Structure 1
Amino acid sequence: MRNGHRPADGLRPVSIEYGVQPHADGSVLIKMGQTHVLCGVTIEEKVPPFLKDRGQGWITAEYGMLPCATHSRGRREAVSGPSGRTHEIQRLIGRSLRMMVDLRLLGEHTLRIDCDVLNADGGTRCASITGAALAVRMAVRQMVDRGRLTAMPPLLPVAAVSVGVVGGRPVLDLEYSEDAAADVDANFVMSGDGRWIEVQTTAEGAPFQPALFTAMADLATGGIRRLFLLWEQEGWRG
C-alpha cells in the first residue's frame, strides 16, 4: 500500500504559491507532497552570443538542491561544483520550457529560471518543470505589462510527472522510497495539447516489455492532465 493509501494513478497533494520572490520577474513555490521547489525567473535584455542580432529570445534554467533538502546534508555545489546530475536536470528543464513559446516572439530577451529544491522526496526535476512553466507565464505577462512586449504571445502549457514500476505494478508520481525501490524509473514531460516533449525511461534491474511502457505513459498522461488544471487557477499574476 502506498503512503496515505494513494492509488497507483494518484498524484501527491499539489499546491502552488505565486509571487513568493518579490524581486523576481515571476516566481512560484510548488509543493508535490514533500517535494518543494522554488522557481524564480529573471528577464535579461540580452541573449547568448549565438543568438545575437537574430531577433529572438532564449529560455534557460539553473537547478540546485539546498544542503538540507535530503535526509543527509549535501555539499553546496557552489563549493564542490555542479554534478553531472545537475547539468542533466537543468538542461532538461531548459529544453522543456523552450517548447512553451515561439522564441521569436520574445524579442532579444533571455528568461533565466532558477529552480531551487527546498525539500526533496522524489520527482524534483518534474516538479521543477511544472512550477517553472507557471513562473515563466508570470514573467512573460510582466514583459507585456512593462512594455517589453507589445502583446502576450501564445503560451503552450508544460508539465511533467514521474512514473515507475514498483513491486511489479506501474505507479504515478513516485516518492523517494518508491523511487529507490523501482524496477523501472521514468520521467514524462508533456505539452498542453497532449504531445510529448521528452520521455526518460530506465530499467533498473531487467529489461521491460513494451506493454509496461504503454501503461506508464497512460498513467503519466492522466497525471499531467490534472497538473494542467493549475493553469486555470486564479491568482497567478502574483
Structure 2
Amino acid sequence: MTDRLPHTLRSDALDNRERIVEAARAVFAVDGLDVPMREVARRAGVAPATLYRRFPTKEMLVTEAFAEQMQACHTVVDEGLADPDPWHGFCLVIEKMCELHARDRGFTAALISNFPHAVDFEARREYALKAIDELARRAKEAGRLRPDFVLDDVLLVLMANSGIHATSLTTQVTASRRFAALAISAFRASPDVAPLPPVVPLAPPASVSRRSRAG
C-alpha cells in the first residue's frame, strides 16, 4: 500500500494540473486574461491553493495555457516564409493568424503581453515576430507590400480582430476571414482589389433595422 501511494499522489497531481490548464484555456479563450485565478480554480474543480501550488503566478498559467497556440503560430510563420512568393506567404500569415486569434481571444492578449520570466514563450514570440518582419521585407522588395508598412501594423490587426464578437465560433471565424481580407487589401501596394470573403451578420436584427431606417 505504501509503495503505491507516491505514484497515486503523482497521478492526482498530474490530473489536477491538466484540469487547471484545460480550464484556463477555456476561460481565457472566451473572456480574455482578466479572469481571476480563483475563477480558473473553480472551473477546474480544484481549490485555489492547489492552483497556486501548480502555477504560483498568472504568467506561468497563461504561458502554459497558450503553449499549443504559440506552436501553431510558429508553424504558420514557417509556412509563410517557405512560400516562394513573399506576398502570397505574407497574406497566408495574416489570414491564418487572424483565424487562430479569432478562435481564442486570450491568445491575442498573451501575444502582446510581456512575460519576462517565461523564457520559452518569449523566444517563440520573438521568433514569430522576426519571421513576419522578414516576410514583410521580402514582400516590399517584390513591390507587393506598401512601403510604409511596419510590424506593429500586424499587432494592430490582431488586436482589432480579437474584438470580433459573434453568436457562434463559426460566424466569428467567417467574420475574421473577411476582416483579414480587408486588412490585406489595405496592405497591398498595388491598386488592384481582390474579392472579399462572404459577409456574415454580426449585429442583432433590431440594430440593423434601426440603422436602415436612419439611413
Structure with greater strand share of residues: 1
Report which structure shows greater RCO (CA 8 Å, sep ≥6). 1
What TM-score results when the alignment is normalised by the length of structure 2? 0.26
Structure with greater helix share of residues: 2
Q: Quick check: which has more Rg, 1 or 2?
A: 2
What TM-score results when the alignment is normalised by the length of structure 1? 0.24
